[in-house]
Each structure stands twice: as structure tokens, then as C-alpha cells.
Amino acid sequence: MASFTPNRSTMFFFLVILATVFVSAAGVAASDSEHGRVLEEDQNIRYRVDDSELPNVYYGICMYAREQRPCRRVMATIPDLKFKLSGQVELAELLSHVIANRTAEAKALADPLLAAAEEKGGKLPTCLVFCAESLDEVSEVMSGLPEDIDVEKYPKVQSFLRKMFESGADPPLCQRCCPDKTSTADEAAVAEKFHAIWALMDCAETLGQYYVLPPPPPPKR
């Protein structure tokens, strides 16, 4: 009768396989919960907020936005916004960081989806391509901003926002056309995230003047 007695090297391979399974299972669990959290935020953005219940502060903040309703809704998703506000400059600063953070989150969702689609070959999902492009564009300008408004990076934020919301300029394709009926749930989540970022940018644009520091006062004689 043949019996199986594991020698050292089979034991070793067994352990390696066990470790691999364990590590990849942990990885899946972690990315699942991150994904879950991001999706939950999307739900909040879309459904939690009943416009008529919003405090007046959001009406004030969004008064000059192009699209006031989405602006108010997205403002309501910023935790403790009311308590963080001490003025327009602080709001402008806060919004730039919120935009940067949400863009990073949306990219963390979009980039792996796009990479997987590219690996699969064939036609890439249109909306995913549009939205990933838009997210890259925002990320390039808004990521890694210093805590406080400076003279180097923030003026670029101002000119970027100005250009995006120039009168007569069409919103990006991700905003206008996505998600579409070909979008999977994940792709739709990416598009919805970009819509929320767009609404934040719409509001930040109205505060654009604060991204440029006033010139220092002339020296006293």
C-alpha cells in the first residue's frame, strides 16, 4: 500500500501555499471593506440628504455655484462642515482638501478597474475611460496641496477651476454622459464619485479668489 509521508520539502511547499491563500484572502477582505466604505459614501451622497432639510448654511455656501442643488447635497456629506467654518478662506481651503481626498478615493476605485479592463483587451468601457481621465486631471492639480494656501500650488488650483467652469465650457464627458447603460455597478460608482467631486469643484470655483494670496503690503517708509 502506498502511503504518503510528507518530507521536508513537501511540507515547505504546503506552508507556502497556505500562506499565499491566507495573504490573498486577507487582501480581498481589506479591499472589499474599502470598496464597501466608498460605496456607502456614494449612497450618502445620493440618498441621505433631503434638500428641504438642509440648514441654511448650505444655501449660502452654494449661492453662486452653477448647480446649486448638487452643491448643497455634497456639502452635506462633509462631516461637521458647519463647525469647521470660520470664513470663506477656510472654506476654500477645506474644499480643496476634500476634493483632493475624494479624488484619491475615486482613483483607487477607477484605476484597478481600468487596469483590469486593459488586461482583458478589447474595447475599454467608455465611461470608465472618460472618468479616469477626468480624475487624473483633477488629481494632477489638487493632490499634495499644502495645508495652507501658498503662492505656488494654489494659484494653479484657481486657474484650473476657472478653466473648468468657464462660461460656455461643457462639463467633462464623465459628468455629462456617465454612467451610461453599458456601465457596471462599479463603473457607475466611479462616475457618481466624479459627479460629487464636480459639485465640490463648482463650489470651490466660486471661492477661487481666495486661492491667490493678496500681494504683500508695500514697504513702509
Report the distance separating Cα 134 and Cα 103, nearest Å.
10
Task: Tell whether residue 98 is a contact of ligand NAG (CB under 6 A).
Answer: yes
Q: Rounded to the nearest whole angstrom, what is the least distance from the CB of residue 154 to ligand NAG in the complex?
A: 15
- Residue 198's Cβ-count burial label (10 Å; 0-12, 13-18, 19+) is buried
Least gap, CB of 104 to ligand NAG (angstroms) = 8
Select 129 or 197, whichever has its Cβ closest to ligand NAG.
197
Nearer to ligand NAG, 91 or 128 (CB): 91
CB–CB of 126/182 below 8 Å?
Answer: yes
The Cα 193–Cα 202 span in angstroms is 14
How many chain residues touch ligand NAG (CB under 6 A)? 4
Task: Please say which residue, 108 or 177, places its beta carbon nearer to ligand NAG.
Answer: 108
Among 24, 33, 101, 209, binds ligand NAG (CB under 6 A): 101
Non-local (6+) Cβ contacts of 75 within 8 A are 54, 58, 61, 62, 81, 203
Contact stretch for ligand NAG (CB under 6 A) within 23-31, 96-104, 107-115, 176-184: 96-104
Report which of 198, 171, 204, 174 is spatially closest to residue 187, judged by C-alpha positions: 174
Minimum CB separation of residue 101 from ligand NAG in Å reads: 4
- The residues that touch ligand NAG, with contacts defined as CB under 6 A, are 94, 97-98, 101
